[in-house]
A = this chain, B = another copy of it.
Amino acid sequence: MYFGLSEDQIMLQDSVRRFLEAQSELEHVRVYAEGDDALAGQLQNGLMELGVPLVFIPEAQGGLGMGVLEAALIQEMLGRFVAPSAFTPAYGMAVAGLNVGTNADQRNVWLGRIVGGDVVMGVGVTEAVGAREGAGLTLSAGAVSGRASFVMGAETATHFLLAAGDALVIIDRAADGVTETALTTIDKTRKTIMLDLENVTCDVLEGSAQPAVETMINVGRVLLAADSFGAAEMMLQKAVAYAKDREQFNRPIASFQAVKHMCADMAARLEPCRSLLWYAAYAQDNVPEEGPLMACMAKSHISEVGKFIARTATEVHGGMGFTDLMGLHYWFKRIGFNRQLLGGPEKTRHDAAVLQGFSN
């Protein structure tokens, strides 16, 4: 038994870390957040060169054939450096869906195009988690209509992989009948949209859509949890560093017991999340009977701990944490965004109860 990362996994994560340390420092983040896509594109290209988009695609389709754990390790780093990347929807969830929910031909075609780089998927599965008033897609004669809300990955998507009732469909972003409404969210490093579709031609994936959509949601939950974990880890690190640096009453605030205990509480709550995240990611590929439950556990628990740390780390920074000067809010908002997508903690805990037969 070995509960930990392999050397390869550590190397993979370190290479992404080193790249992002250089490419995604705060000044770059500010530029992305203000909507300058050039710098974000440069970061995408760098990730591409590292092979990041390929990690989760099977070798048979030209990918690197790694698992959800590797994807989570990458996403943790993207969260740690609040990098503007659609990795979770485009190269995590979409790939997971295509792996499960289609026949070999369609899989080869679409994954091949993703590997080739001429297709980047956005995903819309919000209604499969819980449909808000009026939202939802219906399929009729090979065309799809209705609203898909909170579609993820809009920054780079050329196509969208969408849950439409019992089906899973792909549409071209440029197709007739597609109306996009850009959403402004708290997190300016990722782009989310509403899609209103009217009779849009689509490729309906053959095979059973239900398990595919569920897999997409599970993988998405694990990756959002990884993102929050990475962001929370960085916030704790920043809080400790700030506390050592900042003096009040002639001593570093890190020497005040109240500040020390706030940091200790953060560390004590965050550290077990790392193991939970590793296991939840690992289980998706290796312990399938526990995959959905562990996705719920990681998403809900890391969302709660993440919120606690987002607030407490800000508090340690005092007024500075509240300003834009230190940019701490990018991490705060990233954690806030992850919390709500694909089911908030109450929803994911409810799903966990259902999975265990504790509720209907």
CA distance A258 to B261 in the complex (A): 8
The minimal Cβ–Cβ distance linking A256 to chain B, given in whole angstroms, is: 6
The minimal Cβ–Cβ distance linking A261 to chain B, given in whole angstroms, is: 6
Chain B: which residue is nearest A258 at the CB level? B257
Question: Could you say which residues of chain B place their CB within 8 Å of the CB of A257?
Answer: 256-258
Question: Could you say which residues of chain B place their CB within 8 Å of the CB of A261?
Answer: 258
CA distance A256 to B256 in the complex (A): 9
CA distance A256 to B258 in the complex (A): 9
CA distance A256 to B255 in the complex (A): 12
Question: Could you say which residues of chain B place their CB within 8 Å of the CB of A256?
Answer: 257
The minimal Cβ–Cβ distance linking A5 to chain B, given in whole angstroms, is: 36
| Contacts of A236-270 to chain B: CB distance below 8 A | 256-258, 261
CA distance A161 to B169 in the complex (A): 67
Question: Could you say which residues of chain B place their CB within 8 Å of the CB of A258?
Answer: 257-258, 261
CA distance A177 to B256 in the complex (A): 66
The minimal Cβ–Cβ distance linking A260 to chain B, given in whole angstroms, is: 8
Count chain B CB atoms within 10 A of each CB in A256, A257, A261 and give the residue with the most: A257
The minimal Cβ–Cβ distance linking A43 to chain B, given in whole angstroms, is: 42
The minimal Cβ–Cβ distance linking A80 to chain B, given in whole angstroms, is: 30
CA distance A258 to B260 in the complex (A): 9
The minimal Cβ–Cβ distance linking A262 to chain B, given in whole angstroms, is: 10
Q: Residue-by-residue, is A94-118 near B (CB-CB < 8 Å gives 1, otherwise 0)?
A: 0000000000000000000000000
The minimal Cβ–Cβ distance linking A248 to chain B, given in whole angstroms, is: 12
CA distance A257 to B257 in the complex (A): 6
Chain B: which residue is nearest A259 at the CB level? B257
The minimal Cβ–Cβ distance linking A231 to chain B, given in whole angstroms, is: 27
Chain B: which residue is nearest A260 at the CB level? B258
CA distance A261 to B259 in the complex (A): 11
CA distance A256 to B257 in the complex (A): 7
Interface pairs (5), CB distance under 8 Å? A256-B257, A257-B257, A257-B258, A258-B258, A258-B261
